[in-house]
Chains A and B, each alone.
Chain A
Amino acid sequence: MASIYSLFIISKSGGLIFYKDYGSSGRMDTNDSLRLASLWHSMHAISQQLSPTTGCTGIELLQADTFDLHCFQSLTGTKFFVVCEPGAQHMESLLKVIYELYTDYVLKNPFYEMEMPIRCELFDLNLSQAIQKDRVALLGR
Chain B
Amino acid sequence: MAPLPPRSGDAVFANIERVNAELFSLTYGAIVRQLLTDLEEVDEVNKQLDQMGYNIGVRLIDEFLAKSNVSRCADFKETADVIAKVGFKMFLGVTASVTNWDADGMSCSLILEDNPLVDFVELPDTCQGLYYCNILSGVIRGALEMLCTSY
Q: Decide if the interface of chain B is mainly helix, strand, loop or mixed.
A: helix
17 contacts between A and B (CB under 8 A): A73-B150, A73-B151, A74-B150, A75-B65, A75-B150, A76-B146, A92-B1, A100-B67, A103-B63, A103-B66, A104-B63, A107-B59, A107-B62, A107-B63, A108-B59, A114-B58, A114-B59
Q: Bound state CA distance, A45 and B151, in angstroms?
A: 8
Would A77 and B66 be within 8 Å (CB), given that A92-B1, A114-B58 are in contact?
no
Instruction: Please tell me if B37 contacts chain A, counting CB pairs below 8 Å.
Output: no
- Contact bitstring B43-86, A, C-beta under 8 A = 1, else 0: 00000000000000011111101110000100000000000000
Residue from A48, A57, A74, A90 in contact with B62 in the complex, judged by beta carbons closer than 8 Å: A74
Task: Please measure, in the bound complex, the distance between the C-alpha atom of A108 and the C-alpha atom of B67, giving whole angstroms.
Answer: 14
Beta-carbon contacts under 8 Å, A56-113 to B: 57-58, 73-78, 90, 92-93, 96, 99-100, 102-104, 107-108
**Which residues of chain B have C-beta atoms less than 8 A from A93's C-beta?**
1
Interchain CB contact (< 8 A) of B151 among A57, A90, A100, A104 = A57
Chain A residues with Cβ below 8 Å from B149 are: 12, 77
**Distance from A41 Cβ to chain B, minimum over Cβ atoms (Å):** 11
A100 to B150, CA, bound (A): 19
Min distance, Cβ B7 to any Cβ of chain A, angstroms: 13
Among A73, A74, A75, chain B packs the most CB atoms within 10 A around the CB of A75
- CB–CB B61/A76 < 8 A: yes
Cβ proximity bits B7-25 to A, threshold 8 Å, 1 near / 0 not? 0000000000000000000
With A73-B151, A76-B61, A114-B58 given, name 18 new contacts (CB 8 A): A12-B146, A48-B151, A58-B151, A74-B66, A75-B65, A75-B72, A75-B150, A76-B62, A76-B65, A76-B146, A77-B149, A78-B62, A96-B4, A102-B62, A103-B67, A107-B59, A107-B60, A107-B63
Residues of chain A in range 107-138 having any CB-CB distance to chain B below 8 Å = 107-108, 114
- Of the listed residues B4, B61, B151, the one surrounded by the most CB atoms of chain A closer than 10 A to its CB is B151
The answer to whether A77 and B58 touch (CB under 8 A), given A92-B1, A100-B66, A104-B63, is no
B31 interfacial contact with A, CB 8 Å: no
CB distance from A123 to the nearest CB of B (A): 13
Which B residues are in CB contact (< 8 Å) with A78? Answer: 62
